């Protein structure tokens, strides 16, 4: 089965994937550099998209991070695809203290929203929001590997999981 190509499905998956990738930096590093400095570069990985009708589809993602403001900010270019569709994101995120804030925009469908949350140790909990949805995210980073889950009950894509590895 394939995902329905509707705006609601893309709107739910888009911010979830973006928020998760943006905040996956470990926070237990030296204070001299911000949390996004370790993310600079290219990452890739795969995961699974589960839909409300029980469909499971593999997703592939490529991300490029540009660290700014001594690692306290990041610019992201993210591309994800399944056999049914693709999404292309850009985003800008800032961390101040333990709080994350920023915005995201999905180019192919022209939708966007806000990201807010907190980072503690190697785990991050985030809320990604847009006009028609809210997604709760949990991210864990260990070395060169990032894993995360997204839950958005009631959405066409209520669950999304992915694992990324730093490109060599």
pLDDT, averaged per 10 consecutive residues of the chain (168 residues), comes to 42 48 43 66 88 90 85 81 84 84 84 84 76 78 80 83 87
**pLDDT value at position 60?**
94
Helix (H) or strand (E) holding 142: strand 133-142
User: 104 and 11 in contact (C-beta within 8 Å)?
Assistant: no
pTM across the whole model: 0.72
User: 105 and 112 in contact (C-beta within 8 Å)?
Assistant: yes
What residue spans define the domains of the chain? 7-166
CATH number of 7-166: 2.40.128.20
Tokens of 74: 């990041």
**pLDDT value at position 142?**
75
DSSP 19-78: HHHHT-S-S-S-TTS-TTGGG-EEEEEEEEEE-TTS-EEEEEEEEEEEEEGGGTEEEEEE
**pLDDT value at position 22?**
46
**pLDDT value at position 121?**
64
**pLDDT value at position 64?**
86
């Amino acid at each position: 089965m394939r995902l329905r190509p509707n705006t609601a499905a893309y709107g739910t998956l888009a911010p979830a994937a973006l928020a998760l990738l943006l905040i996956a930096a470990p926070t237990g590093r030296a204070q001299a550099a911000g949390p996004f400095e370790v993310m600079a570069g290219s990452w890739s990985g795969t995961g699974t998209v589960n839909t409300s009708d029980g469909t499971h589809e593999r997703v592939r993602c490529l991300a490029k991070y540009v660290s700014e403001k001594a690692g306290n900010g990041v610019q992201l270019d993210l591309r994800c695809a399944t056999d049914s569709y693709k999404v292309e994101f850009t985003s800008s995120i800032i961390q101040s203290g333990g709080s994350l804030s920023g915005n995201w925009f999905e180019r192919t469908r022209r939708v966007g929203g806000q990201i807010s949350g907190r980072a503690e140790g190697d785990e991050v909990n985030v809320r990604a929001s847009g006009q028609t949805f809210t997604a709760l995210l949990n991210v864990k980073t260990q070395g060169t590997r990032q894993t995360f889950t997204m839950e958005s009950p009631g959405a066409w894509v209520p669950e999304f999981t992915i694992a990324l590895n730093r490109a060599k």
